[in-house]
Amino acid sequence: MRAWARFATALRTVSAAALVVFAGGALVRGIGAAFDPFQAYPGHTSDYGVARTRALRAALPGIADHPEKTVIVLGSSGLARAFVPAAFDAALDGGGERYVSFNMAQLLLQPETALAMARVIRGTYEARHRRIGITLFGIAVPDLSRAAVRAARSKMPDQAFAFTSAAGLLDRAHTRPLDAMTDALTYFVFGDVRPERVTLWLEDWARAKRGPCESGVKQPPEGAEAQAQLDAFCTELRRQFPRGVPPYNPAMRGGLDFGLPATRPMLERLVALQADSISTPLPPPSGRIPERDDIDEDAVRALIAAVRELAAVSDHTFVLCDLMNPLLAAPLPPARLAQWRDVAERIAREGGAPLIDPNDGAFGPADFGDRTHLHPLAAERFSSLLAARVKPLLESSRAAR
């Protein structure tokens, strides 16, 4: 056989195989698209966290095109639940420039996702020759322990994949070339959602599974009245969002949607009814608490890199410590708290951004809907107070210029 004929047969074979793979991929994409946007109910449970990640990516170009100066908020679930853009903007207003904020915080945020998101955000803004007004980069140092990072990856292995970018893949190719190549091929064939995730959607659809209705206040509620309030809350939420709460609601600018203001009476009543039980001291942890946490150095480095990426396209960048439930912090050894503080300071210092620590006693155990997250009503107050903390920093920064 002549060389050309041999090569033509090989080319035909490879093309046929590639066509089969792409056609199969198109079938999977089609099935995935039938669920897209998959509106997990109520949209802020970690089961479908990747739905929010994808929705954030889809919303990013629109955010970058926003005519006014933008505030981008990145972080883990603590900040995702605590940051209410409207409350923050209203409190920040009057300082000269007007800002419009967007909550891009993500449940169970993994360091690699934070870095991938930061890269894509930077690329999106640079492509438009625009800059972010303020970046608030939330960090939850306890989530950087090896065990926590491992648990987050196991819960949502495909989170970072939703923010796959050429720069991220190239960076990964330096250390794990084969994994990077597999990810690149998967992305190329199936898009930004792994087929395994589509399988989960299919399974839940087949089982007609409905996610739990979460009020953001202690669940399950204690007492008949609280249960009745939760039922009323859920009924109202379902009325507003028959297909489930969107993982990214443009009307809320990414703030998690609890159906406010229509649900405010139910939430206020739930908070009032549950306050006592939330304030009850948590049972002491079994066994001795180690003096220091086993912090994942790679995770810390990824966050530092992410802060730097964002700082490169931001007028002002702040690193924001996660708000801690005082009940959780109380039993911890001082050495551990100091270690967490050191890690936060290091990320801020090496990232080149000032550190804001909101743990100043303004929020008590009654403000938390569960062990680690503020309830929706306290979140509004947190956002206003945060704006009050940011405002003088902005003014001093402007004055310095």
Partner 1 sequence: MRLDSGAFLFIFAALFLVYSAVPASLKRLLLVVSSVAFYATLSPRFVPLFLGLGVFSFLVGHRIHRETLDPRRDRLLWIGVGANVLALAFFKGASPAAGSLAALGLRSRPELLAVAVPLGMSFYVLQAISYIVDVHRRVYEPPRSLVSFLASFTLFPHLLSGPIVRSSFLVPLVERVDAVSWTTARRALFLFMVGLVEKSIADKLAPAASAAFDARGSISLVQAWTGLLAYAAQLYGDFSGYTDMATALALLLGLDLPPNFDLPYLATSPTDFWRRWHISLSTWLRDYVYLPLGVRFRRRRYVNVMVTWVVAGLWHGASWLFVLYGLYHGVLLAVTDWLSRRYPSDEAPRGVRRVAQTALTFYLVLMGYVLFRARSVRDAVRLFADLHWPRAPSEGSRDAITTGAAALAAIVVCHLLDHAARRWREKLERPWVMWPAMVIAVACLALFGGEAQPFIYFAF
Residues at the contact surface with partner 1, assessed by CB under 8 A: 1, 3, 6-7, 9-14, 16-18, 20-21, 23-25, 27-28, 31, 178-179, 181-182, 185-186, 190, 195-196, 198-199, 202
Min dist. Cβ of residue 23 to partner 1 (A): 4
Query: Which DSSP letter does residue 145 get?
Result: B
Neighbours of 319 (CB within 10 A): 26
Indicate the residue among 51 and 91 with the shorter CB distance to partner 1: 51
For residues 351 and 307, is the Cβ–Cβ distance under 8 A? yes
The token duo for 294 is 């086993």
Please count the residues of the chain.
401
Rank residues 188 and 285 by Cβ distance to partner 1 and give the closer one: 188
> Closest approach of Cβ 123 to partner 1, in Å?
25
203: Cβ–Cβ under 8 A, 6 or more apart, which residues?
209
**Smaller CB distance to partner 1: residue 34 or 127?**
34
Structural tokens at position 354: 């000032």
Nearer to partner 1, 91 or 180 (CB): 180
Within 160-252, residue ranges assigned H as helices are 166-175, 177-190, 195-206, 224-240
Sign for the CA dihedral angle at 161, 163, 165, 170 comes to negative
> CB of residue 17 vs partner 1: minimum separation in angstroms?
6
Judged by beta carbon, residue 168 or residue 369, the one nearer partner 1 is 168
Q: Tell me whether residue 1 or residue 251 sits nearer to partner 1 (CB atom).
A: 1
In the bound complex, what is the minimum distance in angstroms from residue 223's beta carbon to partner 1? 32
Least Å distance, CB 54 to partner 1, is 17
Give the separation between CA 116 and CA 138, rounded to whole angstroms.
15
3-state secondary structure 329-396: HCCCCHHHHHHHHHHHHHHHHHHCCCEECCCCCCCCHHHECCCCCECHHHHHHHHHHHHHHHHHHHHH
Q: What are phi and psi of 102, to 5 degrees?
A: -135, 130
